[in-house]
Structure formats: structure tokens, C-alpha cells
Structure 1
Amino acid sequence: MTLIVYVNDVLLASDSLQDIELLKKFLDDQFTIKDLAPLKNFLGLEVARSHTGISLCQRKYALDILQDTGLIGSKSAAFPIESNLKLTIDDSEPYEDLSAYRNLVGRLLYLTITRPDLAYSVQVLSQFLAKSTVNHHKAAVRVLSYLKATLGQGLFFPSSSELQLKAFSNSDWASYIDTRKNIIGFAVFSGNSLLSWKAQKQATISRSSAEAEYRALATTTCEIQWLIYALQDLQIDHSQSTLLYTDSKSAMSIATNPVQH
């Protein structure tokens, strides 16, 4: 059984309904709780279940963002950010409402809980919270236009899926023009279920694309190891080898044979 507590909200998950009922009775005797029945909403997350699996989304939360920013009637976009877009600190005049920009990026950041497709875009926008420009705000509006076209997207966890961790790792070498640092990204699956993902700026500067990819592999490996420990805490046996994918032959060569560095 798993019990998750956030302030005064409690989630219970177990493969035994009897155990859940016993625990609810015990908690009610101690604190007088209110049973809200099967989970449907939790902290802005919408949960839907069927015989095929469980889906998570934040459709209402996304609609609230569009409504508050006045873009509910705007034109939609097919993707959140252009692949060749390179934002810098002083690429245009300063944006007039810095607090509004910060608030928008913060709300988009919370949206990435169920929208990994926004992780890279939000990571790029979050680099300019201290000093945002008009171009930065235009990029944020583009993300909102994409959000309007994909309101119902989220995560789906199928009821029948193989228990084997597999991860995908990548790095964009020297993508930040101001600092020459890299963006690393990874996604870790258990079968067909996406468990963990991240897009972040590396703390150090890599001197080559191979080094950047190798550092991304190392970061992904740490995440995989953490997930294995988490599965052990949940008494879930993960006996199969974890698969780790990268598109860098140089990084694979270094990982296979550390002498070739």
C-alpha cells in the first residue's frame, strides 16, 4: 500500500480494497476524515480510469492559463518552440511586466507534471526570469498557442505493460549563446509508461558534443538508479536489465570502454 500526503489531502493506493477500507477507518477514528471516493482530481490533476489504464491530464488548469492571459481565442500552433530559436539575455527591448512573465513561466512549469512535451520550452523560458525581453514573452505566447491546440494531452499508464526500465538521453551542445552551456534531456519509461523526464541546463561547460552527450548519459543513469531504489522501496522486483539509448556513437564508445576518453 502507498499513502501520499499533501497538507490535508491524502491519496491511498493498493491492490487490496480491504486494506484501503481498514486504513480509512483507522484514519477516520484518529482525525475524522472525509472520503471523496475514487480519485478524479488532485491538485489540478485530472484522473480518468478505464479497463485499459489510467490517464492524467491538466486540461482545466491549461484552460485557466489561457483564460487568465486572454489567449483563449488566439490562433493555435503546431509546436511550442522553433528548433532553431536562440534566445539571449539582450536580444530585444525589456518586457514591461516582469512579474507577469515570471507568473506565466511558473504556471507552465507546474503544467509539465503531465506535459513532458513542454519541458524543453519551459526550461528555455525559465532562464530569463531575472531579466525578460519582448522576444522572451513572444516565445512564451507561442507555447500558449501550442497549448491551446493540445489541451487534452497528458500521460497514459496502460494496465498491461512490461516491467522493464528503458531510458532515452540527449544533449544540445552549447545551446545557450550567453553561457555556452548545454541543455540535457532524458525520458525514462517502464514498458510503455513514462515515469520520469527532465530538460535542464548543465552546470558545467562541455568542450565537445561527445562530452555533452556523455554527461547527459551520466545524469540519466543517476535517475535510473533512483527509480530502481524507488521500486525496491515499493517491493517491486525489477530483474531485467535497464536499456539506455543515445544517438552519440562517441558517447557510447566512452561508456563502453572508459579508456577511450
Structure 2
Amino acid sequence: MTTIVTVYVDDIIITCSDEAEISALKAHLHHTFSIKDLGLLNYFLGMEVSHTSDGYVLTQRKYTKEMLSGCELDISKPALTPFPLNLKLSPKGQIYPNVDLYKRYVGKLNFLTHTRRDLAFAVQSLSQFMHSPKLAHIAAVTHTIRYVNHTSGKGILLIDTDQLTLHAFSDSDWASCSSTRRSITCYILLLGNSPINRKSKKKSTVSKSSYEEEYRVMSQDASEVSWIVRLLEELGIQGLKLVQLNCDNQFSLHIARNPIFHE
């Protein structure tokens, strides 16, 4: 039997397969520190937890409602995508005068990505222009917030399953940044059918080919998988190896299978 305690400053989550063990631990903590028992988990660090027949749903409805209620941008029109289709943001253009407003809303959107993985690409794109936003950038922020307003109930479904297998997916948009020719890379990890980790980022280096960049992303994804496996094993989840790493670039797969040194 394993008891897991998650602590963030003065907020605590306790989980265990034995209710009596949870009650005993709560009694001990209350005797030592005088804690307040809030019962079944439903809210933690700005995230709402809903219990369904399929598992748990993580959302940020309250935070989203507060962000939209006082929004200073025109979000009356709905948007169907997190980012305008085929849009390539550039550092050139007419400067947007209200830099603080731009930073504030990009920061709010960044916090929202904890439960809105569909916003990851848009937020990483908008975050690159915090120092000097242009009119095109604030227009893109407005589009993203319109999408959030149109899909405010979305979140993450953590599905209950007996088959706890780990899967990783990686991809790269080679040289997608028109000004620096750097690639946008991303990966996501699934435990069973539930997303537990993801990242979308513009690379700090320039790759000479698409398969070179895809291979770099696979390497980064493999490192992340190794860390996640060790963490889950400490939590008592065994038998995760071998982990399937998915990539759609055939040249990268050939390099990964070939043990000969490649520059």
C-alpha cells in the first residue's frame, strides 16, 4: 500500500487505496499542525477537479470566467481555432503602445495552458514578443482569447484504466520562424489515454534539415520519458518499460535504429 502526499506551500492533496490510512494521516497532521479538512478534492491551485464515471476532469472554469469578465479586448466574435490559420508572426510592424496589457493577457493565457493543452502553440508563439509587441501580435492575442471565450468549458480528461502504459509523441515544424529560421518543436506524454506532460517551444539553435530537427526532438522526448518513468516508479507504478516513442519522420527513425555514429 502506498500513500501519496502532494504539498504546495500550505495546500495538501492526500491519496491512498485505503480510506482508513488517509483518515489516520489527516488526524496526525491535524494534531501536529491544526489543518482544515476540505473533503473530497474539487479545487487545487486554481484548477477544478470534477469526478465522472470515466475518471477525472481538470478545468479552470473559474479562472477563465474571471479573465473573460474583465477583458479589455473585443472578444464578442467567436473564434474556432486557438490561432489564426497560416499566421506567421514577425517582429516587424507598427508597435502596440500598451505593452503591459499585452504582457498581462499572454501571462493569463500561459497559466491557462495547465488544463488547456490546445493553447500551447499559440501561447509559445505570443510569448516571443513580450518585449516589443506589434499590432499584429495583439490581434493574435485577441483571436486566442475569443477562442477561449468560445470554448470556456474545455479541460483535461484523466481516464480511469487498468492498462497503465506510457506513450510519447513528438513533432517539429522545421524552420517555421520566418525571421530566425528556427524550428517549433513539441511533444506530449500519455499515461494510458491521459495526457500528463507536454511542451511546445521554439528551438534555440538552427537545424540544417527537417530530419535533424525531428531527431533532436526525439532525443529530448526520450530524456523526458526517462524522468517520468523514474518518477512513476517511485509512486509505485511498475512495468512501464518499454515505452513507445512515436515520430512520423522516416529519416529520423532510420538514424535512431542505426547504431553507427552520425554527426
**TM norm. shorter chain > 0.5:** yes
Match of 2:12 in 1: 10
Pick the aligned partner of 1:42 from 41, 44, 48: 44
Tell me how far 1:177 sits from its aligned partner: 1.9
TM superposition shift of 1:72: 8.1
Aligned-pair CA distance for 1:36: 0.6
3-state DSSP of counterpart to 1:195: strand
The 8 Å contact of residues 186 and 198 in structure 1, kept in 2 or not, is answered as yes
Structure-1 separation of matches of 2:254 and 2:40: 49
Residue equivalent to 2:59: 57
Q: CA deviation at 1:50?
A: 2.6
Aligned partner of 2:119 in structure 1 is 118
1:136 is aligned to 137
Query: What is the alpha-carbon distance in structure 1 between the residues aligned to residue 27 and residue 94 of structure 2?
Result: 60
**1:69, distance to aligned residue in structure 2 (A):** 1.3
Residue 9 of structure 1 aligns to which amino acid in structure 2?
D
Residues 119-198 of structure 1 correspond to what in structure 2 (within 5 A)? 119-198=120-199
Alpha carbons 2:166, 2:240 under 8 Å: kept = no
Aligned mates of 1:260, 1:77 — CA distance in 2? 48
Structure 2 counterpart of 1:107: 108
CA drift of 1:259 comes to: 2.9
Tell me: CA distance 1:35–1:216, structure 2 relative to 1, closer, same or farther (3 Å): same
| Other structure's SS at 2:105 match | helix
Equivalent pair of 1:231/1:238 in contact (CA under 8 Å): no
1:75 paired with 2:77, answer: yes
In structure 2, the CA distance between the partners of 1:161 and 1:131, relative to structure 1 (3 Å rule), is farther
AA at the equivalent of 1:178: S
Q: Distance in 1 between matches of 2:122 and 2:155?
A: 16
Q: Partners in 2 of 1:83 and 1:258 — Cα distance?
A: 40
**Structure 1 pair 210/157, CA: closer, same or farther in 2 (3 Å)?**
same
The residue type equivalent to 2:57 in the other structure is S
* 8 Å contact kept, 1:72–1:148: no
Q: Secondary structure at the match of 2:132?
A: coil
Compute the displacement of 1:260 (Å).
7.5
Could you tell me which runs of 5 or more consecutive residues in structure 1 were left unpaired when the two chains were aligned: none
- State the number of aligned residues: 260
- Distance of aligned partners of 1:239 and 1:167 in 2 relative to their CA distance in 1, 3 Å threshold: closer
Identity over the aligned pairs, expressed in percent? 37
Question: Aligned-pair RMSD on alpha carbons?
Answer: 1.5
- In the other structure, the counterpart of 1:85 is 87
* Shift in alpha-carbon separation, 1:71–1:8, aligned structure 2, 3 A: same
TM-score by length of 2: 0.94
Summarize the Cα distance change of 1:161–1:139 in structure 2 as closer, same or farther, 3 Å threshold. farther
Give the letter aligned to residue 143 of structure 2: R
State how far apart, in whole Å, the 2-side matches of 1:202 and 1:13 are: 38
- Partners of 2:245 and 2:209 in 1: how far apart? 21
Whether the 8 Å contact between 1:253 and 1:260 is mirrored in structure 2 is no
User: Take 2:75 and 2:172, find their aligned partners in 1: how far apart are those partners?
Assistant: 36
Any conservation in 1 of the 2:29–2:35 contact (CA below 8 Å)?
A: yes
Which secondary structure state, in structure 2, belongs to the residue aligned with residue 109 of structure 1? helix
Q: 1:27 is matched with which residue?
A: 29
Q: Residues 218, 124 of structure 1: CA spacing in aligned structure 2 closer, same or farther, 3 A cutoff?
A: same
How far residue 81 of structure 1 moved from its aligned partner, in angstroms, is 0.9
The offset of 1:129, in angstroms, is: 0.8
- Unmatched tracts of structure 2, length 5 or more: none
In structure 1, distance between residues paired with 2:119 and 2:218 = 21
For the residues of structure 2 that align with 1:134 and 1:161, how far apart are their CA atoms? 50
